[in-house]
Amino acid sequence: MRLARRAFLRGVGAAGASLAASAVTGCGGDEDALTFFFQANPEESEGRMRVIAEFARRYPDIRIRTVLSGPDPIQQMSTFCAGGKCPDVLMAWEQTYAGLADRGVLLDLNTLLARDPAFAGVLESESVAALYDTFALDGGQYALPEQWSGNFLFVNREIFARAGLTPPRRWDDAWSFAEFLDITRALTVRDRTGRVTRWGFVDTWVPYYSAGLFGMNNGAEWMSPRTRPARCHFADDAFLEGVRFYADLAIEHRVAPAPDNQQSISAMDLFSRGEAALAMGGHWRYRTFADTGDIDIDITALPAGPRGSGARSNIGATGLAIAADSPRREQAWEFVKFAAGPVGQAIIAETGLFVPVLRSAVRSAGFAAAHRQVGNLGILTEGPANSGPLPVTPEWARIDALMDRNIGPVLRGARPATSLQDSLAPDTDEVLRNR
């Protein structure tokens, strides 16, 4: 996997690998501290430190030392663990944790859950099953989810109001592909020379993943079964039509910047400056857009294709895992329970930095107060329940590279979407067969 892309996918920046001793107090020296490895931009670090600070207040005997990731977190974790210095608690990503679990790096949490029935009961009653199950592999539970980071559409409310348009408020009332195209055409503005001065749509995610998500919204699954898949669906008509629709937004209809233009034009900047009406992205973009102060934003659902049964996001998530060889397993479990449990999730909700995964937190007054600017809050609160799964396989790094190599030319207009039938689909199935 190109982990520079992974860093972009998570919406975080990194200044390089560093060890940062947290300001949290506790008994014992650094050699006794519980180490917590995570990746975050400055705003996200602030939110995490609030969770850590409250944990330290309640558990003064457990000291935490934070380990801030560089731009290549999976490689960094692998290097730490291969050298016998694996952090005790590790941030886990939905599509990459399986490789670490498969190599025995991550602890199966089921034994700890079994001896803690009260906490397990809270998770069972409060969790969205699709998010919780994302971190389950071969009967083991290798992380507890801490945030939902699926994709949706950011809306420039002023542009829509001037055009007399109202975006859908719910996932079950989304635009169709045809309606979405009409809206983006109507909101794209060109000057007398034909140069676009405002785009109808921009994408702040990873284009070849976004294309796949449009395929999912046209009724296709990426692979089956979800965990350790045996075959892909990249050759299915529904998937190909969704990819083609996404590609044609830029290539044929010119309501979105072409991929080549995105080398010099930042989709984030275009939306932040009011030069785009809609922007695809996840909640990790919210604070950036909300804090600009120059635009009035709301959110809405992704469009739904004609072959699908409705609009969906993707089950994007991060979780918290424990290193299998951690000498501080009991302390690590206390921290993971706290951060992924009701108290830690309530703190996350109040920061407005993440979408928490427990129902009580995401529906709390604190979460609503942190998103006062958002009128369509149901897009977030109901997002996990309206998300489709992405594959969980230790082979994801190889498949990711295949998607980049084969979908990229389609998005640039160099190949038709049907070319994926002869390239991406068979190559992916070969990887799955030979895992």
Same-domain status, 104 and 208:
no
- The dihedrals phi and psi of 171, each to the nearest 5 degrees, come to -65, -30
Residue 42: the pLDDT is: 76
- 378-396: pLDDT as tens digits: 999 999 999 998 999 999 9
Average pLDDT in the 26-36 region? 70
Same-domain status, 234 and 305:
yes
Q: How many C-beta atoms surround the C-beta of residue 292 within 10 A?
A: 14
Residue 341: the pLDDT is: 97
pTM for the complete prediction? 0.90
Same-domain status, 230 and 201:
yes
Could you list the residue range(s) of the whole structural domain that residue 182 is in? 151-314+395-433
Same-domain status, 125 and 184:
no
Residue 69: the pLDDT is: 84
Residue 1: the pLDDT is: 34
Same-domain status, 310 and 320:
no
Q: Which CATH number does the domain housing residue 248 bear?
A: 3.40.190.10
Quote the number of domains for the chain.
2
Residue 16 has pLDDT above 50, yes or no: no
- 119-153: pLDDT as tens digits: 999 999 999 998 999 999 999 999 999 999 999 99
Residue 390 lies in a domain: no
Residue 262 has pLDDT above 90, yes or no: no
- 211-223: pLDDT as tens digits: 999 999 999 999 9
Residue 294: the pLDDT is: 82
Same-domain status, 143 and 170:
no
Of 356, 380, 404, which closes a domain?
A: 380
Q: Which residue has the tokens 């330290």?
A: 56
Nearest-angstrom CA–CA distance, 378 and 180: 20
Sorting pLDDT into bands at 50, 70 and 90, what band is 30? low
Taking Cα atoms as reference points, which of 52, 345, 391 lies closest to residue 224?
391
Of 380, 403, 425, which closes a domain?
A: 380
Residue 388 lies in a domain: no
Same-domain status, 277 and 190:
yes
Residue 8: the pLDDT is: 35
Residue 18: the pLDDT is: 34
Residue 387 lies in a domain: no
Same-domain status, 325 and 222:
no
Same-domain status, 337 and 213:
no
Nearest-angstrom CA–CA distance, 214 and 305: 8
At 229, the amino acid letter reads P
Percent of the chain with pLDDT over 90: 79
